[in-house]
Amino acid sequence: MNDAKILIVGSVAFDDVETPAGRRPNSLGGSANYFAVGASHFAPIQLVAVVGEDFPSEHVEALKERGVDLEGLETVSGNTFFWRGRYAADFGDAETLDTQLNVFADFQPKIPQSYQETDYLFLGNIHPALQEEVVDQVKAPKLIGCDTMNFWITGEPEALAKLLKKIDLLVINEGEARLLSGEKHIPKAVEKICAMGPKIIVIKKGSHGAALYHPEGQFFVPAFPLETLKDPTGAGDSFASGLMGYIAQKDSTDLKTFKTALLYGTVMASFACEEFSFDRTIKLTQEEITDRFNALKAMITIED
């Protein structure tokens, strides 16, 4: 690891997840959690989020053991954000059964002074106005990445438009790209989104992989074929963790770095799906990450 740090701002939550592989009624989740756990395998992480008094101290210690800086983790009176969801037999999009914002409803990100000169910033899926507040609190990161969702695209278009002018990288899925741009054809959708502000777009295609649109070129990576699939919750955040983690590790944003980062994002997403919560990603070894990266690379490389 070099000294380049990543600041993640997002949610920390309790999840009740049901999939065809079983149910985990009290799992840890949230965009900041998944991102921090995954990216900590690549670079030093600074985390800003809010939890309630019910949040387990043992998980705080587990994050610290991964080297995550928790100065920005705020504990307030009340209960931690809670989400309950269920996946159908195809492990597609989850059906939300219950959402309790709890302390997250009043979340106002406070960026500690020690975080304000962070090298890389990733904005997890929260209200775009809050994401913009974070951008305004940091000084000059080398890259600002962002996630969003249909709810904000349709419900807060003006706030999202203001945010997009201030970011460098947008990571979204195909449906969100079409909704945001009004274009069904993805290359045209990307062109329109780039005109809104971000110059680098990563389109997540779920089980069909991910596509990169960079000013220097384009790239596509298939999903890693899994023998075991238990819980896709957090796969997108885990993808972002590998993507941003490698970029920070190399401290570069050129096309070659982004291509390799797309593979690492795919690798981290695949590990996340193999167990509930981040049971798999938190105990990964560097050897396991490297071995799967090499396996994925071999699948898409034609040797002479």
Q: What are phi and psi of 192, to 5 degrees?
A: -70, -40
For residue 1, what pLDDT is reported? 56
In 66-185, which residue ranges form alpha helices assigned H by DSSP? 128-137, 150-155, 157-164, 174-181
Q: What are phi and psi of 47, to 5 degrees?
A: -120, 135
The residue assigned the tokens 């780039």 is: 194
DSSP one-letter code for 197 = S
pLDDT tens digits for range 273-295: 999 999 999 999 999 999 999 99
Angle between helices 157-164 and 128-137 (to 10 degrees): 30
pLDDT at 244 over 60: yes
pLDDT digits (tens, 9 = 90+) for 169-223: 999 999 999 999 999 999 999 999 999 999 999 999 988 999 999 999 999 999 9
Domain ranges of the chain: 6-299
In CATH, the number for domain 6-299 is 3.40.1190.20
pTM: predicted TM-score of the whole model, two decimal places:
0.96
| 97, 126, 238, 288 from 30: Cα distances, Å | 16, 10, 11, 24
pLDDT band at 92 (very low <50, low <70, confident <90, very high): confident
Q: Which residues contact 159 (CB under 8 A, 6 or more apart)?
A: 127, 128, 129, 132, 152
> From CA 212, how far away is CA 218, in angstroms rounded?
5
Residue 127's nearest CA partner among 97, 110, 105 is 105
